[in-house]
Structure 1
Amino acid sequence: MKIIRHTDPTWQQTAAALNRRAEASDAVQEVVSGVIKQVRARGDAALIELTEKFDRAKLTPETLAVSQDELAAAWNTADAELQEALIASHRNVFTFAQKSLRQNWSSTNEQGAEVGEVYHPFERVGCYVPGGSAPLVSTSIMTVTLAAAAGVPEIVVCTPCGPDGSVNPGLLAALKLAGATEVYKVGGAQAIAAMAYGTETIRPVAKIFGPGNSFVVEAKRQAFGVVSIDLLPGPSEVLILADKSGNPAYIAADILAQAEHGKDSQAGFITDDADLLNAVVAEVNRQCATLSRQAQLGPVLEKGVFLLLAPSLEEGARLVNVYAPEHLTLITERESDILPMIRTAGAIFLGNDSPVAVGDFLAGPSHTLPTGGAGKSFPGLTVDMFQRRTSMIRLNKESVTKSEPIVRAFAKVEGLDAHGESVAIRARG
C-alpha cells in the first residue's frame, strides 16, 4: 500500500497523478485492431481460433451458442439459496430500471408547432459479461435486466467459457432469469468484434453494453461508430473519503473487497484524520490474512492501493473529483457540506453502513459504471441507454407562417435560399 501525507514533499505530484485518463497502450490497441480485422474477415473461424488461443477451449460453429435448454437447465438445477439471491437482485434492479425509463411527451412551441419526443427500445443489443478469475454472475443481472426492462426484444450475451467449453452454471442461471435471448461462449475483444460486425453465427447488434478488461474496453472504443457504445467500464475501483467518524474495520473491508478483483483493480482512501489512516492500515493487514484470494489480493495491495492524508475534507473532496472514481464511499459527520461538492463519481455510497458490495449485487442501480477517470465524461449504465430517442415535429398553416420570417433570417445569413423557400412556399400557399 502506498501511503502519502500532505506534509510529504511528494504530495503535490501524488495529487496531480490522480487526474487520470483511461487510454489503452499502443500494444493493446494493436492487438485489438488485429483481432477485429480477423473476426471481420473470417467470422466464426476466427472466433474459434481466438477462443482456443486465449481461453484454451476448442469450440465449433455448432457449440458457440448456449441453447435455451441449457439456460433453462442451469436455472432449474441452481440451488435454492442462489435462486433466491438472484430473484431478489433482479427484482430490485428491474424495479429501479422501470422507474428510470424515459417517457414520450409532446408540447407546443412559441410558433404553434407541435414538438415532442418518442422513445423506442433498441431492436437488438449485445451485453458483455466478463468471466476471468471469477464469473461475474451479478453483471448478468446488472446489464441484461435493464435491456429487458426497456423492452429490447433481442438481447445477445457474450461471455468467455472455460477450457472445457462450458460456462459457469450460476452465470447461465442469472442470464436466464434476466432475459437473455441468445448467449455465446465468446470472450475478449473478439466478442465485441462479433457483436459489432457479425459472423456466420452471431448477427450484429445495434449497441454494445457491459464492462471488461483493457482489451474489451479498447475493442468497444474501436467499434464505436459501427455500433453504439454505452460507456467504457474497465477494471473496477473504489475510493473512500472519510473523516474521524469512519469505522476503520469497515473501510478496510471495502478496500479488500475491491482488491480481490485482482489484476488492474484499484482502491483508494482519503482522510483528514491521521489516527483513522493508521487504524485502516492495521485493519487491512489483519483482515487480509483471513481471506482466500491471496493471489489476487497481494498484487493489488502492493501496486493498486493508496492512502492519502489530506489537510482537510474539502481538499479530499477536490481530489475525489480529480480522480473520478467508479465507486465512492463518503463517511463524514458533515455530509450536507461535503456531498454537494462531489461531481464525478459513478456511484456514491453514504455512511459507515453502506458497503459497495450491496451496490455490486443487490441495491438497484446498475453496477456498470465509468472507470479510469471516465466519470468526468460518462454516467453509469441506465435503462434509458437501451432506448432510442426520436424527435417529432408537426406544423400547420398558422405555425409554418409564424415560423417563416425566422427561418428566412437564418437561411439568408447561411446562404441557403432553398431552405428559406421550402418554408415560404407553404406560408404563401
Structure 2
Amino acid sequence: MKIIRYTDAFFVDELRRFDRRAEASEAVREVVGDVVKAVRERGDEALIELTKKFDAAELRVRDLRVSQDELQAAWDGVEPRVREALEASHRNVSEFARQSMRKNWSMVNEQGAEVGEVFHPYQRVGLYVPGGTAPLVSTSLMTVAIAAAAGVPEIVVCTPCGKDGTVNPGLLAALKLAGATEVYRVGGSQAIAAMAYGTGTIKPVVKIFGPGNAYVVEAKRQVFGVVSVDLLPGPSEVMVLADKTGNAACIAADLLAQAEHGKDSGVAFITDDEGLLGDVVREMEVQGEKLSRQQMIKSVLEKECVLILVPTLEDGVELVNAYAPEHLSLIAEREEEIMQMVRTAGAIFLGNASPVAVGDFLAGPSHTLPTGGAGKSFPGLTTEMFSRRTSVVRLSKEACAKSEPIVRVFSEIEGLDAHGESVAIRGRVL
C-alpha cells in the first residue's frame, strides 16, 4: 500500500491523479468494438464463439436461455437461512424503490393551460449481473427488484456462466425471487451487445442497466444511442474519510472488504490524524491474515491501495470530490457539516457503525453506483431510471387565447410564422 503525507515533497503531484474522468483505454475500446460488431452482424453464432473464447464454455444456441424450470429448481433448493437473507434484502430494496418512485402530477400555468408529467415503466429492459470471481447474488436484488417495483413487464438478465455452462444456483434463486422474466447465460461485452441489438434468441431491449468490468462498461458506452443506459458502474471502490474519532479496526475492515473484490478495486483512506493512520495500517495487517481471499487482497493492497494524511478534513473533502468514490465512509465529529461538502460520492456511509457491506447487501438503496470518476456526472441506480417521463399539455379556448400574443412574439423572432398561425387560427375556428 502507498502512504502519502501532506509533508511529502511530491504530495501535490501525487494527488493530481485523483481528479479522475471515467474513460476506457484504447485497447479496451478496440476489443469491445470488435465484439459489438460481431454480435450485431452474426447474432447467436457470435455469442457462442465469444462465450467459448472468454468463458471457456461450450454452449449451443438452445442453451443460451436459462429455463423457468431451472430458475424454480434453484429457488426450491435454497437452504432456509439463505432464503431468509434473500427475502430480507428483497423486502428492503423493494420498499425503498417503491418509496422513491416519481408520481404523476399537474398544475395550471399563468395562461390557464393544464400542464404536468406522467411516468410509464419501460416495456423491456436488460440487466447485467456480473459473475467473475464471485457470483453477485446481491446485484440481482439491487437491480432486478427495482425494475420489478417500477412495474417493468419484461426484465431480461444476462450473466456469465462457468466453464461447465452452469450459473450459480444462489444467483438464479435471487433472480427468481427478484422477478427476472428472462435469464441468459451470456456475459461480458457480448451480453451488452446482444441486449442492445438483439439476436435470434435474445430480443433487443430499450435500456440497459447494471455493473461490470471495464469491457462491460465500455460496451454500454458504445451501444448508447441504440439503447439508453443507466450509468457507468465498473470495478468497485471505497474511500474512507475520518478524523480522530474513527475506529481503526472498523476502517481497516471496510478497506479489506473492498480489496477482496480483486483486480482493479479501488481502496483509499484519508485522515487528518497521524495516529489513526498508523493504527489503520496495523489493523489491516492483523485482520488481513485471517481472511480467505489472501492473494486477491494482497494484490489490491499492493497496487490499488493508498492512505493519505491531509492537514485538515476539508482538504480531505477536496480529494473526495475530485475522486468521486463509489462508496464513501465518513467518520467525523462534524459529520453533518462535512457531509454537506461532499458532492460526488455514489453513496455515503455515516459513522463507525455503518459498514459499507450493509449497503452492499441489505440496507435498501441500490449498490449499483458510478465508479471510475463517473460520480461527477451520474447518480446511483434509482427507481425513476426504469420509467419514461412524458409531459402533458391541455389548453381550453380561453387559455389558448391568452397564450397567442406571447407565442406570436416568439414566432416572429424565430421567423416561424406557421407556429404563430397555428395558435391564432384556433381563435377563429373554435
| CA distance, structure 2, for counterparts of residue 427 and residue 253 of structure 1 | 71
Q: What is the SS of the residue equivalent to 1:43?
A: helix
The one-letter code matched in structure 2 to 1:139 is T
Task: Tell me the equivalent position of 1:11.
Answer: 11
Aligned length: 429
| CA distance, structure 2, for counterparts of residue 296 and residue 205 of structure 1 | 35
| CA distance, structure 2, for counterparts of residue 42 and residue 13 of structure 1 | 48
Task: Tell me the equivalent position of 2:203.
Answer: 203
The one-letter code matched in structure 1 to 2:26 is D
| CA distance, structure 1, for counterparts of residue 202 and residue 296 of structure 2 | 34
Once the two structures are superposed, the pairs formed by residues 234-273 of structure 1 within 5 Å of their partners are: 234-273=234-273
Task: Tell me the equivalent position of 2:28.
Answer: 28
| CA distance, structure 2, for counterparts of residue 34 and residue 16 of structure 1 | 33
Once the two structures are superposed, the pairs formed by residues 7-406 of structure 1 within 5 Å of their partners are: 7-406=7-406
The one-letter code matched in structure 2 to 1:56 is A
The one-letter code matched in structure 1 to 2:197 is Y
| CA distance, structure 2, for counterparts of residue 344 and residue 13 of structure 1 | 22
Aligned-residue offset at 1:295: 2.0
Aligned-residue offset at 1:428: 3.0
The one-letter code matched in structure 1 to 2:424 is A
Report the TM-score when normalising by structure 1: 0.99
Query: Could you list the runs of 5+ residues in structure 1 that have no partner in the other structure?
Result: none
The one-letter code matched in structure 2 to 1:414 is E
| CA distance, structure 1, for counterparts of residue 427 and residue 26 of structure 2 | 58
Bigger shift: 294-303 or 89-98?
Answer: 294-303
| CA distance, structure 2, for counterparts of residue 191 and residue 267 of structure 1 | 28
Q: What is the SS of the residue equivalent to 1:286?
A: helix
Aligned-residue offset at 1:264: 0.4
- Post-superposition CA distance 1:125-172 (Å, at most 9, x none): 000000000000000000000000000000000000000000000000
Detail structure 1 runs of 4+ shifted over 2 Å in the superposition.
none
- Post-superposition CA distance 1:9-46 (Å, at most 9, x none): 11111222110011101110010010011001110000
| CA distance, structure 2, for counterparts of residue 277 and residue 261 of structure 1 | 23
Task: Tell me the equivalent position of 2:415.
Answer: 415
The one-letter code matched in structure 1 to 2:225 is G
Aligned-residue offset at 1:294: 1.5
Q: What is the SS of the residue equivalent to 2:252?
A: helix
Bigger shift: 172-181 or 405-414?
Answer: 405-414
Q: What is the SS of the residue equivalent to 2:398?
A: helix
The one-letter code matched in structure 2 to 1:13 is D
The one-letter code matched in structure 2 to 1:105 is W
Aligned-residue offset at 1:318: 1.4
| CA distance, structure 1, for counterparts of residue 73 and residue 49 of structure 2 | 28
| CA distance, structure 1, for counterparts of residue 128 and residue 386 of structure 2 | 14
Q: What is the SS of the residue equivalent to 1:133?
A: coil
Identity %: 71
Aligned-residue offset at 1:362: 0.2
| CA distance, structure 2, for counterparts of residue 397 and residue 337 of structure 1 | 52
Q: What is the SS of the residue equivalent to 2:9?
A: coil
Aligned-residue offset at 1:336: 2.5
- Post-superposition CA distance 1:313-341 (Å, at most 9, x none): 11111111111110000001111221111
The one-letter code matched in structure 2 to 1:385 is M
Q: What is the SS of the residue equivalent to 1:183?
A: strand
